[in-house]
Amino acid sequence: MQAILIKGGRVIDPANGLDATADVLLADGKVKAVGALRESDVKPWMGKAAGVEVLNAKGLWVLPGLVDLRAHLGEPGNESAETIAGGALAAIHGGITTLACMPDTDPPIDTEAQVQFVLARSRLADMAEVLPVAALTKRREGRELAELGQLVAAGAVAFSDEMRATDSPSTLLKGMAYASMFDRPVIEFAQDPNLAGGAMNAGYEATLAGLPGIPALAEELAVARACMFARETGCHYHAAKLTTRNAIRAVKRARKLRVKVSAATCPHYFALTDAEVRRRYDTAYKVFPPLRTKDDVAWIRRGLREGIIDCISSDHTPVPPELKELEFGRAPFGIVGLQTLLPVTLTELVHGGELPLAQAVAAMTVNPARLLRVAGRKGSLTVGHDADVALVDPQEIWTLEESGLVSRCRNTPFIGMKFKGRVKFTIARGRIFDVSVPQAAGA
């Protein structure tokens, strides 16, 4: 494998407290050196047959490859929306080199064979590394616990019943206690299904739109309950998608009690509000949980600044156009987000003055890597870690075009919007991808 020397970029590596102009040497799929490198540091690799490829990173940010906590990749069972290879390619175009896929497939990821299937398809694609999140209960039915120990041994990085909140509190409590034995987090989808039967955020805008609402209470009850269960069991609970102020407060209270709880939000929740849903009446804005109020957006940004929300994930959920074209109440929830995770975050939070750059990068690199128990090889530019890097032009202003989306589906409200900051190259385990060059969509 060819060695790669990244020269003269601004290296931002929160895991190591680094923010400085430096060089990065990659070889044999690993990080070999970071700093002001001399010819003698590179010379051992120059005589090898593959040689050294030099990337001039002057004016670019050099980040660890992003780690995305949640993506819905369809395969197996819903390949018309997405495949593992297609999702891995879309991730590469977003600077993401590692992503966790959720278990809402058909069949679900609830057996050793299904975990191994995901890992095998990821190896075959040889792009972003896909890590399986396994189902907490068999068939994701919320009744009988899956064989968690076997799933961990097969390679599962976390557990979740994703989009089907466990109806039985006793089952969830037992599942969290069981998961704690294997040092794996439970990613509880933070919605009470008995309250979450609407189409958009409950409130003024829903009334004007004439659409049934999903109250903030649906999220707040589920988050508070899961925090209490985490306190009781010692399980690491991850609140997947925080969107309301009281849910954020619940996580903050749990943290003060030293409960093992982490939290994430998604770019659309700190960039858009329910007012856009009412004004545009476009199903591209139909996501779950729904877009909330301006006040909630302010709380999400505050939660990120205070470190209560420590991860930012894409929640990549492709939906075929024939389904998104249904009337608003019947259209499925979902947004594609792998290619917009970084640019929306940079535009809204970093360039917008809401969040320091290092904190934003940490929320998409080392923090999710720690949650997924892969921080020993992912999420930083530590020597010996995987050669995963994203090179970003922080000043490029560009418009997201539908033709630029790599996923099989195009369901995003961000089409036509301008962003500041764009991925130019992604390096995954030492393999360079020039993402400024269009590639085939829907692999």
Q: What is the largest CA-CA distance in the chain?
A: 70
- What angle, 0 to 180 degrees and rounded to 10, lies between the N-to-C axes of helices 245-256 and 294-305? 30
- Residue type for 187, please? I
| Angular region, 384: left φ>0, alpha ψ -120 to 50, beta rest | left
Specify whether 315 is catalytic. Answer: yes
Helices and strands in the chain: count of H runs, count of E runs: 15, 18
Residue 333 in contact with residue 318, Cβ under 8 Å? no
**Which residue among the candidates 110, 161, 315, 386 is catalytic per the annotation?**
315
Strand, coil or helix: 303: helix
Count other Cβ atoms within 10 Å, centred on residue 44.
13
Residue 69 in contact with residue 372, Cβ under 8 Å? yes
Q: Which residues pair with 55 in a beta bridge?
A: 6
Residue 50 in contact with residue 1, Cβ under 8 Å? yes
Q: For 241, phi and psi rounded to 5 degrees?
A: -145, 90
Q: Which residues pair with 278 in a beta bridge?
A: none
- Residue type for 345, please? T
Beta strands in 123-236 (DSSP E): 129-134, 158-159, 186-188, 200-201, 213-214
- C-alpha 11/C-alpha 163 separation (Å) is 37
Scored b (16 or more CB within 10 A) or e, 284-320 reads bbbbbbbbbbeebbebbbebbeeebbbbbbbbbbbbb
Could you list the active site residues? 315
